[in-house]
Structure 1
Amino acid sequence: MKNLTLEERDQLIRSIGAAVADGSLDLGGAVKRLRLEVTGLKQATFARMCKISMRALNHLEHGDGNPTLATLEAVFKPFGLRIGLVRIEPIDLRSVVTKTELDDFGFDYPDART
């Protein structure tokens, strides 16, 4: 691992975040790149630092399993990143189905979703 300046490290973190946002990099690939390119840590050390299991980190980096939000937050937090919603493309808001339209179709949904 090359010693990065603070500015280079910040730019690398931002570029990895942008790659995830634009869909060119998945979350597992982002975690692996951040771990290797920014910290240079081995999986075991990074997992301990994030307070997650080595198995959870391994599965996450390989795109296996279904990581919890807590796991994702734990691995991204050291880099100043959070999990959030990003609009991936402009949408036609007329195509968004509303509760009223669902009622019109006789859609039966749990009370908690009303």
Structure 2
Amino acid sequence: MSELSPQQRETLLFELLDQLFDEQITPGQLLKRLRREVLSMNQTEYAALASISRRTLSAIETDRNQHTLDTFNRAFRPFGLSIGLLPRDRHMRRKLLTRAS
């Protein structure tokens, strides 16, 4: 896999976040794609970077088990993301995100 430029990484990040906000992918699928496509890391490498176990990373990426906010935040921190509150309704979420830009 070729290395992405910073602009390509940012574009991919926004595309994947749009998919998450539109409920096309789960948070676990988002993390897995970011890990693979942006950082080109395997689970062991990424788990060490994020200070979580490989088993925990695997569980997050496959949307298994419940995890604490702290664990999710550690998992997404390398991408400059944190877990927050958003409206559950897709249209309200879009409206809020559009207002923020």
TM range (shorter): 0.7 to 0.9
The answer on 1:48 being equivalent to 2:55 is: no
Query: Aligned runs of 1:90-101 on 2, under 5 Å?
Result: 90=92
Shift of 1:80: 1.3
Counterpart of 1:21?
Answer: 21
Query: Aligned runs of 1:1-114 on 2, under 5 Å?
Result: 1-87=1-87, 88-90=90-92
Can you list the C-alpha shifts for 1:24-59, whole angstroms capped at 9, x where unaligned? Answer: 110110010000000000100100100001110011
8 Å Cα contact 1:20/1:26 also seen in 2 = yes
SS of structure 2 residue aligned to 1:24: coil
Q: How many residues align?
A: 90
Shift of 1:86: 2.3
Structure 1: gaps (5+ residues): 91-114
8 Å Cα contact 2:49/2:78 also seen in 1 = no
Shift of 1:67: 1.6
8 Å Cα contact 2:51/2:74 also seen in 1 = yes
* Letter matched to residue 52 of structure 1: I
Can you list the C-alpha shifts for 1:63-93, whole angstroms capped at 9, x where unaligned? Answer: 1111211111112111111212223234xxx
TM-score of the aligned structures, taking structure 2 as reference length: 0.83
Structure 2: gaps (5+ residues): 93-101
8 Å Cα contact 1:51/1:74 also seen in 2 = yes
Same amino acid, percent of matched pairs = 33
More moved, 79-88 vs 5-14: 79-88
8 Å Cα contact 1:28/1:60 also seen in 2 = yes
Can you list the C-alpha shifts for 1:2-21, whole angstroms capped at 9, x where unaligned? Answer: 21111000111111112111
8 Å Cα contact 1:32/1:61 also seen in 2 = yes
Please identify the structure whose Cα radius of gyration is greater. Answer: 1
